[in-house]
Amino acid sequence: MFSETIRARTRGHFVGLEALFELRFLSKTFYLHNGGGQLKSKDGQEWTGLDGAGRVSGLGASSIGNSRMVQIGLDAEDADIKTLFQDQRTEVEGRKIVVWGQFYDEDLTPLDPKFHHYTGYGDRLQMQKRGPRSRSMDLKIEDFFARRRRSAHAVVSHADQQMRDPTATGFIYQPEMVDKILNLFDARD
C-alpha cells in the first residue's frame, strides 16, 4: 500500500501526512492546506496554510445507494470571505475540488509524489456570521456520479433533499404523492 520510501521512514522516523486542497473556483484556483505557513509538494506546487481555520468532514467511502456528503469549511474575517466569494453561486457551484495527500519528513520536505484522495464538485455554499467581524463558509461537495448511484426514488426524496439543503421544503410530501389522488379543485388540503 505504501511505497518503499514511506515504509522505511516509518521505522523509527517521523512521517507527516498533509491533506492538500485544490479548489478550482471560477476566479482562480486556490492551493490550500490546514497547517501553518507554506508547503511545497513534490511536483513544486506551493500550498498556502490556513492556520487551522479550515475544516473538512465526510471524506470516507460512499456506500451503494448513498453517496458521501463531503463538507469543507473556512472561518475568516468578513472582508476576506466577501472579496473571495462575491458571486457565490457562479464562483463555487459545479466547480471541481480535488483533495491530495502528501507525505513529509520532519523538515517538511516532500517524500513521495502527492497522491489523489478525492475529487468532488461544489454543490451548495452557505455562509453564517460567527461574531461581530467573522464569518463561516461551508461548502458541500458532491461526487460526480452521485445521482447515478441512487435509486430514482432516493433522488427526489425529502430526506435526501434535507441532507443537501436543510431549509428546503420542496419534497416534503413527495413520498405520499406517489400513490395519492389529488383533487385540484379542493384547495384546502
The string of pLDDT tens digits covering residues 53-92 is: 888 887 776 665 566 778 888 777 767 666 666 666 677 7
Residue 23's nearest CA partner among 54, 69, 44 is 54
Instruction: Please tell me whether residues 158 and 110 are part of one structural domain.
Output: no
Return the number of other C-beta atoms located less than 10 Å from residue 116's C-beta: 9
Residue 113's nearest CA partner among 43, 44, 45 is 43
Residues across the chain: 189
Give the pLDDT band of residue 46 (cuts 50, 70, 90).
very high
Residue 26 burial (10 A CB sphere; 0-12, 13-18, 19+): middle
Instruction: Please tell me whether residues 144 and 157 are part of one structural domain.
Output: no
Instruction: Please tell me whether residues 13 and 25 are part of one structural domain.
Output: yes
Instruction: Please tell me whether residues 96 and 155 are part of one structural domain.
Output: no
Query: Domain containing 179: what range?
Result: 151-189
Instruction: Please tell me whether residues 157 and 177 are part of one structural domain.
Output: yes
**pTM of this prediction?**
0.68
Instruction: Please tell me whether residues 141 and 127 are part of one structural domain.
Output: yes
The string of pLDDT tens digits covering residues 88-115 is: 667 777 888 898 988 888 888 888 889 9
Instruction: Please tell me whether residues 23 and 40 are part of one structural domain.
Output: yes
Instruction: Please tell me whether residues 128 and 61 are part of one structural domain.
Output: yes
Instruction: Please tell me whether residues 92 and 178 are part of one structural domain.
Output: no
Is 35 a residue whose pLDDT tops 80? yes
CA dist., res. 144 & res. 117, Å (int): 14
Position 63 scores a pLDDT of: 64
Instruction: Please tell me whether residues 171 and 141 are part of one structural domain.
Output: no
The total number of structural domains in the chain stands at 2
The string of pLDDT tens digits covering residues 144-172 is: 665 555 555 555 566 666 766 677 776 66
* Per-residue 3-state assignment (H helix, E strand, C coil) for the chain: CCCHHHHHHCCCCCCEEEEEEEEECCCCEEEEECCCCEEECCCCCEEEECCCCEEEECCCCCECCECCCEEEEEEEEHHHHHHHCCCHHHHHCCCEEEEEEEEECCCCCECCCCEEEEEEEEEEEEEEECCCCEEEEEEEEECCCCHHHCCHHHHCCHHHHHHHCCCCCCCCCHHHHCCCCCCCCCCCC
Instruction: Please tell me whether residues 34 and 108 are part of one structural domain.
Output: yes
Position 92 scores a pLDDT of: 78
Instruction: Please tell me whether residues 130 and 166 are part of one structural domain.
Output: no
